[in-house]
Amino acid sequence: MIKKSILFITLFAVGLFSYGQNSGKAKALLDEVYNKVQSYDNIYIDFQSTLENTEANLKQETNGNVTLDGEKYLLNYFGAKQMYDGKKVYTVVPENEEVTIEDVNEDNDNVSPSKMLTFYKTGHNYEWDILQNVGGRKIQYVKLIPIDSNTEIKSVLLGIDTQTKHIYKLIQTGSNGTKTTITVNSFKTNQPISSTLFTFDEKKYEDKGYYIIRN
């Protein structure tokens, strides 16, 4: 659960991200979001997440944050941490006292952030959805529907601030009825970051007695 959620949030962070006229409008807006994100040296996002499944009587709420610099990222979510240093992905789960170290496999869902930035460009149909006023901000929603009917994701709604072209909200509905809502509390760009922020210190965790898993 934690690992899937982490990958989903990463997708949201960097993805900041019907046919005919409405479909063209939707894709054009997504392209504006992508180009805006690409123009920043780095991005810091603080967010709130809600995971809900009515049938399973499940509701989880948490806050998290992610720092992105090119393909590299550092994500804190559900008490766990995931980092990508440009070569490997490190997932640290203090609750289990374990660290998973793995390569990025471009052939499966565990893709690199650079690919996540363009996830919407293929494999989806686009729909122009509702426009909301949120505290004076105009939030335009775009719905992404996977073309592959066998995917675990039924649809993704992206709420985009029409002025800043930043993602304000993401609502993912799974084929199993689970709905995940991500709301951005704060979106900062071009922040001063440490040169060692994306450096993983394996010895530090070995000294703590963590179990190291290599995939």
Would you put residue 127 in left (φ > 0), alpha (ψ -120 to 50) or beta? beta
Compute the mean pLDDT over every residue in the chain, rounded to the nearest whole number: 83
Whole-prediction pTM: 0.81
User: What CATH class has 18-214?
Assistant: mainly beta
Would you put residue 67 in left (φ > 0), alpha (ψ -120 to 50) or beta? beta
Write the pLDDT tens digit of every residue in 7-35: 555 555 544 443 345 778 888 998 898 88
pLDDT of residue 156: 86
Hunting for tokens 């989880």 — which residue is that?
A: 60
Write the pLDDT tens digit of every residue in 68-110: 888 888 999 888 999 999 899 999 999 999 999 998 765 544 3
Write the pLDDT tens digit of every residue in 118-160: 556 667 888 999 999 999 999 999 998 888 878 888 888 989 9
Quote the DSSP letter at residue 112.
-
